[in-house]
Amino acid sequence: MNNTGTEQAILEVRGLHTIYQTDDGVVKAVNGVDFSINERETVGLVGETGAGKTTLALSIMRLLPERTGRIPEGEIIYKGENLLKADKEYMRRIRGANISMIFQDPMNALNPIMSVGDQILESLVIHNEEKRSGEELNKRVDELLELVGISAGRKHEYPHQFSGGMKQRIVIAIALACNPKLIIADEPTTALDVTIQAQVLALINDLQQKLGTSMIMITHDLGIVGKTCDKVAIMYAGEIIEFGTAEDVFNGEKHHPYTVGLFGAIPSLTSEAKRLKPIDGLMPDPTALPEGCKFHPRCPHCTEECKTGEPYLYQKGEAYIKCNLFREEK
């Protein structure tokens, strides 16, 4: 789509591990994730529920639940600075101003007893480094509302007076308020009606093009990825098991068996198949992950070597696949 920006990585994640310490044991939610995102680029993060996508997003924002969530190792580098080493105050300034987030469920993402205008304004006030006057900030609120397709006259209304799709537009306006460099959209359309989904998605896409923001699009919907993303990362059990351009992942020849399974699980207009092929089995319990390749209990191509040790890392340019199937190719 648009890959015209300079090939400068805006955010780099290296060897990220995130765990939750719960009463039932240590939940290994993210297990060694590496990827980077360039300016003006959209990376799609795809996987089933429980693959660790949201945890990855919250780790980048450093918004993990304080008591349970921990990042034992890894680096998250934004503009040359490791965010995992940054102090709380630095991180607070990054959030909203540089990296912002659109949440999954717009129904609960807005404060019910604060007018929507005030909630957008709040973001501007927090990061008002240029010391703009209140009047200017209010004008910016009107501008933002119009930008997401809501009449500025409704800014004094409360969240309960808006529909789900409208609320998500307001959440988007909040995320865009301070012209962030990177937006993390965590399944922004999952909670919406199908007809509204398309509208909101088109809006996000449109604004991203217009404003030149980078974006991480988290979704379990491959259709959305195909429409919006430049690069795709497929996540399974807290790992990125396949990464590449949208072209690689959608039309390339080599795929991780899980990716093949994912594509088999969506209906296609062109193929002749009468039935969908679901992936057998369930996502492993994150408190007790299997040894070796984490997909091996469900993999149709599983061999003895898959059950122990890390799977082979097949690389081709920027793209990679973590699977022993491609070992002999070298």
Angle between helices 134-147 and 164-176 (to 10 degrees): 130
Q: What are the tokens at 123?
A: 């973001």
Binders in 41-70 for another protein, by CB under 8 A: 49-50, 52, 55, 61, 63, 67
Q: Which of 109, 116, 144, 325 binds another protein (CB under 8 A)?
A: 109
Q: How far is the CB of 237 from another protein (least distance, A)?
A: 9
24 binds another protein (CB under 8 A): yes
Binders in 246-265 for another protein, by CB under 8 A: none
Binding track over 68-107 against another protein, x by CB under 8 A? ------------------------xxxxxx--xx-x-x--
Gyration radius from the chain CA atoms: 21
Q: Which residues contact 22 (CB under 8 A, 6 or more apart)?
A: 68, 287
145 versus 319: smaller Cβ distance to another protein:
145
Q: Which of 161, 179, 268, 303 binds another protein (CB under 8 A)?
A: 161
Binders in 186-245 for another protein, by CB under 8 A: none
296 versus 322: smaller Cβ distance to another protein:
296
Phi and psi at residue 228, to the nearest 5°: -115, -20
Q: Return the closest-CA partner of residue 187 out of 84, 88, 7, 45.
A: 45
- The tokens 């696949």 sit on which residue? 321
d(Cα 234, Cα 243) in Å, to the nearest integer?
A: 6
Q: What are the tokens at 102?
A: 């659109």
Q: Is the dihedral of CA 272, 275, 276, 282 positive or negative?
A: negative
Q: Which residues bind another protein (CB under 8 A)?
A: 20, 24, 27, 29, 49-50, 52, 55, 61, 63, 67, 92-97, 100-101, 103, 105, 108-114, 122-123, 126-127, 158, 160-161, 171, 174-175, 281-288, 290, 297-298
